Amino acid sequence: MILFHPGPAKLDCETCQKYVTDLDRGEVETYGVGEPDEHGKRQQLPQVRPQGTFPPCIRCPKQSPERAKEHELSEKNWRAFAHYQEAKAVGVTEEERRDPIVRRNFSVIDQVVKAFEAKSEATMHAAEIARIAVRK
């Protein structure tokens, strides 16, 4: 989720149910109150979800609070992902290279990362093609 849907990954369901949220940014919407400070900024408070409005579950990849846990990495999986990132940066030890669990975990993570990179590249190319088409 963190790669393909970083906005929703930053929000928990309770936050979306209580506040108006921007799923793309993964942030709670706020509004300014009080007098502006010396920089022209007002204190920002979270915008409570109006009674009778629904959270954006229909647009969220988590689908519902009941299914959210299915889309979240466990602490163990976060550690495996962090280990993968470190290994990509500095390499693996000979012991890690021989370890079947490390090899399997890295293979699974690598497939997800490569799928994300392919999607990102395709999106970039589509945007470039659209930009060129508009110029003509």
pLDDT of residue 94: 92
pLDDT of residue 134: 80
Residue 92, both tokens: 């693996």
Q: How far is CA 7 from CA 10, 19, 60, 94, in A?
A: 5, 15, 9, 37
Q: How far is CA 99 from the centre of its chain?
A: 30
pLDDT of residue 82: 92
Q: What is the pLDDT of residues 17-44, one digit of tens each?
A: 999 999 999 999 999 988 888 888 999 9
pLDDT band, very low/low/confident/very high, at 136 (cuts 50, 70, 90):
low
Q: Are 20 and 56 in contact (CB under 8 A)?
A: no
Q: What is the pLDDT of residues 70-120, one digit of tens each?
A: 888 888 988 999 999 999 999 989 999 999 999 999 999 999 899 888 888
Q: Where exactly are the structural domains of the chain?
A: 1-70, 73-136
pLDDT of residue 46: 96
Q: What is the pLDDT of residues 37-80, one digit of tens each?
A: 888 899 999 999 999 999 999 999 999 999 998 888 888 988 99
- Cα(23)–Cα(4) distance, integer angstroms: 13
End-to-end, the C-alpha distance of the chain in Å comes to 37
pLDDT band, very low/low/confident/very high, at 125 (cuts 50, 70, 90):
confident
In percent, the amount of the chain with pLDDT more than 90 equals: 58
